């Protein structure tokens, strides 16, 4: 049995091989590993190239888990036509292993060394009960084995590869692994470990981003519900606005990501009503000019209430500008045409339509047909004409009615 320390660098590799093409191949594989964006694909790629580079019959990969065990991930065997990903319930060999040095893979991981065994049946240093059971069950004979830690240059072992049965290139019969493969797989293991480590960091960052978005989403709903509660709304209004907005944005050809952002941001359009006195919000009659002036301040208050973080940028724009008009006669800034933020132009349509078709303290709900007449008449004056063209299509297809029915208590 031979042992080679992990973490051999490129210079050692070059001195061992005197073969620039082999070194170049390893470097190219390292770049290929680094470019992979999915962990499952990366692990299969590591196994495939480890087996091909050493001209071996089979290869398994284990990753070191948070529980301290080596979790089985991938096994491929050419002779047996095996291609397994994940733990196998039918074969005891392909399960997680404790970090017990009596197992060769665990030993390699613990000591960060590559272990080269000419014939496992003649090796008394490790427990090979598992491979023997596998051989008996499958009519196979495991002979040579090369186990290499997947270790970063800092020495962090993230897993191991277990390569079995090097094959003679002429007779295709099992032979011991040539010692130069120890350096080759060490270097390959370095690149593999770095790629795995980086992918895990990327996934952790992604999960943190998801959690942050969920937290922001919860904050959005909470604020929106608080504003609607002041207005005696059940919360269905903001849900209708959200789904109307998503439908209109989709019809206008926006990307899925932009649709999600605009529809979520639309929920906050009236959050500034938290600052408007209840007597004005719930007045069952027409507002006086003074009262209407107080009501109009909800757009400015909404923008001030929302955090000045990038995630809320669109929500702030919608809150401030969803009462602007295409002809410049809206508020609070009298913006006109394309000077009005695109998302605010969308919500201007959805908010007015829902206000017309919903019951308010001062009015009954209008029929859809009557509301659509107002929307069409407002094209080019109140609303962006392109928005109304798309809105009419949604109405004709019954999309608006379905959303209204779904979110009306």
Give the separation between CA 391 and CA 375, rounded to whole angstroms: 9
pLDDT (tens digit, 0 to 9) for every residue of the chain, 409 residues total? Answer: 666 665 444 444 444 444 556 666 777 777 788 888 888 889 999 999 999 989 999 999 999 988 889 999 999 999 999 888 765 444 445 678 889 999 999 999 999 999 999 999 999 999 998 889 989 999 999 999 999 999 987 888 999 999 999 999 999 999 999 998 898 888 888 889 989 988 888 877 777 666 666 666 666 666 666 666 555 454 688 889 999 999 999 999 999 999 999 999 998 898 888 888 888 888 888 888 999 899 999 999 889 888 787 878 999 999 999 999 999 999 999 999 999 999 999 999 999 999 999 987 778 999 999 999 999 999 999 999 999 999 999 999 999 999 999 988 7
pLDDT tens for each residue of 28-52? 777 788 888 888 889 999 999 999 9
* Span(s) in the chain for CATH 3.30.450.40: 2-202
* Contact yes or no for 196/150 (Cβ under 8 A): yes
Q: Is 273 a residue of the active site? A: yes
* Contact yes or no for 128/121 (Cβ under 8 A): yes
Catalytic residue among 11, 230, 273, 286: 273
Cα–Cα distances in angstroms (integers) from residue 155 to residues 103, 115, 140, 150, in the given order: 20, 17, 35, 9
* Span(s) in the chain for CATH 1.10.3210.10: 213-406
Give the separation between CA 14 and CA 178, rounded to whole angstroms: 16
pLDDT tens for each residue of 347-392? 999 999 999 999 877 789 999 999 999 999 999 999 999 999 999 9
pTM of the model: 0.53
Class of domain 2-202 (CATH, top level): alpha beta
The dotted CATH code for 213-406 is 1.10.3210.10
């Amino acid at each position: 049995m031979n042992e080679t320390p992990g973490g051999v660098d490129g210079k050692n590799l070059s001195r061992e091989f005197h073969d620039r093409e082999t070194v170049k191949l390893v470097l190219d594989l390292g770049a290929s590993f680094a470019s992979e964006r999915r962990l499952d694909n990366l692990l299969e790629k590591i196994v495939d190239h480890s087996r091909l580079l050493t001209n071996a019959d089979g290869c398994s990969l284990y990753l070191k888990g948070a529980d301290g065990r080596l979790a089985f991930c991938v096994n491929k065997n050419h002779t047996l036509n095996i291609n397994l990903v994940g733990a196998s319930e039918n074969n005891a060999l392909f399960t997680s292993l404790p970090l017990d040095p009596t197992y060769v893979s665990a030993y390699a991981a613990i000591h960060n060394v590559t272990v080269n065994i000419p014939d496992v049946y003649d090796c008394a240093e490790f427990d090979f009960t598992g491979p023997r059971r596998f051989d008996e069950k499958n009519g196979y004979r495991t002979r040579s084995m090369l186990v290499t830690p997947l270790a970063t240059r800092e020495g962090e072992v993230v897993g191991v590869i277990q390569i079995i049965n090097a094959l003679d290139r002429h007779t295709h019969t099992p032979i011991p692994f040539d010692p130069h493969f120890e350096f080759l797989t060490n270097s390959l293991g370095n690149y593999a470990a770095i790629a795995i480590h980086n992918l895990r960091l990327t996934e952790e960052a992604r999960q943190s981003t998801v959690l942050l978005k969920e937290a922001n989403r919860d904050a959005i709903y909470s604020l929106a519900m608080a504003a609607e509660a002041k207005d005696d709304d059940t919360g269905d209004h903001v849900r209708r606005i959200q789904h109307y907005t998503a439908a209109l944005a989709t019809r206008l050809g926006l990307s899925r990501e932009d649709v999600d952002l605009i529809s979520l941001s639309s929920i906050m359009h009236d959050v500034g009503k938290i600052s408007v006195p209840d007597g004005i919000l719930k007045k069952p009659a027409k507002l006086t000019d003074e009262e209407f002036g107080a009501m109009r301040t909800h757009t400015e208050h909404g923008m001030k209430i929302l955090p000045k973080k990038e995630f809320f940028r669109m929500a702030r724009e919608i809150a401030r500008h969803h009462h602007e008009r295409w002809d410049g006669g809206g508020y609070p800034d009298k913006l006109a045409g394309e000077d009005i933020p695109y998302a605010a132009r969308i919500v201007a349509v959805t908010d007015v339509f829902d206000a017309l078709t919903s019951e308010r303290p001062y009015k009954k709900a209008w029929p859809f047909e009557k509301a659509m007449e107002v929307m069409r008449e407002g094209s080019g004056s109140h609303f962006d004409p392109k928005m109304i063209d798309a809105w009419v299509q949604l109405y004709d297809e019954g999309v608006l009615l379905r959303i209204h029915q779904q979110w009306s208590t």
